[in-house]
Amino acid sequence: MTRAYATDEQYERWYMTECCRCGRRRHKAGTWPDGYVCRTCSDRAVRTRGTCPGCGQDRALPGLRPGDGVPICTTCAGFSRTFDCSRCGFEGKLLGGRLCERCALSDRLTALLDDGTGRIRPALVPLFNLLVAMDKPSSELAWLAMRRSQPTNASRLLQQLGLGQISLTHDAFHGLQPRRTAAHLEELLMTSGVLPTVDKYLCSFQRWLPGHLASITDPEHVKTIRLFATWRVLPRLRARAERSHITPSVRRFAAEQIKYATAFLQWLGQRNNSRAGQPARPDHLSALLNEAGIPAAAARGAAIRQQLLELPAPVVADALGYHNKTTSRLVRETGGTWSRHAAGDHTRSPTSRPPREAGDS
Ligand SMILES: [Zn+2]
Ligand SMILES: [Zn+2]
Ligand SMILES: [Zn+2]
């Protein structure tokens, strides 16, 4: 950066001064009746609202009454400037073009949600209305400015929504990055009625799944786990969401089922490789379970035992997930695999007992 000032000292003299409110040496943001103010103190002062003790009007109170320092309005304090928005007249912090935060937010959203024809994409008008009506437009502006230098951020997602590059379905949101931003946006779209309301933990599971699938190296395992999730885990979560609602522990349990199944598949794969060349036996799975230290007796009752021997591997792992001892043994057996898959989850130890879901075992 090239400075047009002869010396740092000159720059200091012209632009820096001691703030009359906080006493720190800062850039001058304004000259008020009680002295120079810095940006921080100016913003804080114009946010102060109430009934002015001088004139009885309800408005912003950035001034200080001489003597006792009670907040008063700009008129009573004798300000030489106003803080009225040049568009809507709201008195508060002013941004570029002397616009208040809400008007600035409105302009920013109008530009971002443009469908390419100079208007907000009609389907997104409810989202626009929700966002501009929020209590703190400053928070929304900060959200839009987040991760500015990154390839994806809230502004970019809104832009893509406006241009129709992201379809208005829950599925479209589950693969989007950054995940937290996509999740927040999905919630806003539900609140504004653009997307149908679905359980937030169901959403959270569906957002988690693609990342987990991407972490599996064997494409055959990816297919199996995807099927397992689609036909076994998700229908149960949906049924649960319809009956009541999904709790955080039910959501975690669903992810653990997927992780157990993945670890189990990997373990089976390694076993099969080391047995290459040997003839396949009809009781293969049963033998494998025994080798893994999981006697069929670990399952209670003949019906479950039968299932253990007949169901596909991920479903077996699912069933094993209900039994703490066999599960932790399985976890030990699959050691490296397991800890790699569980690495992202620091909230629980991988061997902790998955919550038993009432009426589901
Ligand atoms: Zn200050
Ligand atoms: Zn007043
Ligand atoms: Zn305004």
How far apart, in whole angstroms, are the C-alpha atoms of residue 89 and residue 305? 74
Find the 20 Cα to ligand 3 centroid distance in Å: 28
User: Any idea which ligand is nearest the CA of 83?
Assistant: 3
pLDDT for the residue numbered 77: 96
Q: Answer whether residue 279 shows pLDDT above 60.
A: no
User: Any idea which ligand is nearest the CA of 100?
Assistant: 3
User: Any idea which ligand is nearest the CA of 36?
Assistant: 1
How far apart, in whole angstroms, are the C-alpha atoms of residue 305 and residue 57? 78
DSSP tag of 57:
-
pLDDT for the residue numbered 6: 64
Q: What does the chain come to in residues?
A: 361
295's torsion region: left (phi>0), alpha (psi -120 to 50) or beta? beta
Q: Tokens at residue 330, please?
A: 């399985």
Q: Answer whether residue 271 shows pLDDT above 80.
A: no
Find the 181 Cα to ligand 3 centroid distance in Å: 27
Find the 33 Cα to ligand 1 centroid distance in Å: 14
The pair phi, psi for residue 100, each rounded to 5°, is -70, 170
Q: Tokens at residue 76, please?
A: 């009573």
Find the 88 Cα to ligand 3 centroid distance in Å: 4
DSSP tag of 229:
I
How far apart, in whole angstroms, are the C-alpha atoms of residue 314 and residue 221? 10
Would you say 194 and 123 are in contact if contact means Cβ atoms under 8 Å apart? yes
How far apart, in whole angstroms, are the C-alpha atoms of residue 256 and residue 350? 9
Would you say 314 and 264 are in contact if contact means Cβ atoms under 8 Å apart? yes
Find the 351 Cα to ligand 1 centroid distance in Å: 53
Q: What is the pLDDT of residues 183-229, one digit of tens each?
A: 899 999 999 999 988 888 998 898 899 899 999 998 888 888 888 88
Find the 61 Cα to ligand 3 centroid distance in Å: 18
How far apart, in whole angstroms, are the C-alpha atoms of residue 135 and residue 47? 13
The pair phi, psi for residue 175, each rounded to 5°, is -100, 0
Find the 125 Cα to ligand 3 centroid distance in Å: 19
Reported ipTM: the value is 0.95
Q: Tokens at residue 122, please?
A: 């009609």
How far apart, in whole angstroms, are the C-alpha atoms of residue 161 and residue 127? 11
CB atoms within 10 A of CB 315: 18
Dump the DSSP string for 231-286.
Answer: IIIHHHHHHHHHHS---HHHHHHHHHHHHHHHHHHHHHHHHHHHTTTSPPPTTHHH
Q: What is the pLDDT of residues 217-262, one digit of tens each?
A: 988 888 888 888 888 888 889 899 888 888 999 999 889 888 887 8
If DSSP codes are grouped into helix, strand and coil, which group holds residue 35? strand
Find the 76 Cα to ligand 1 centroid distance in Å: 21
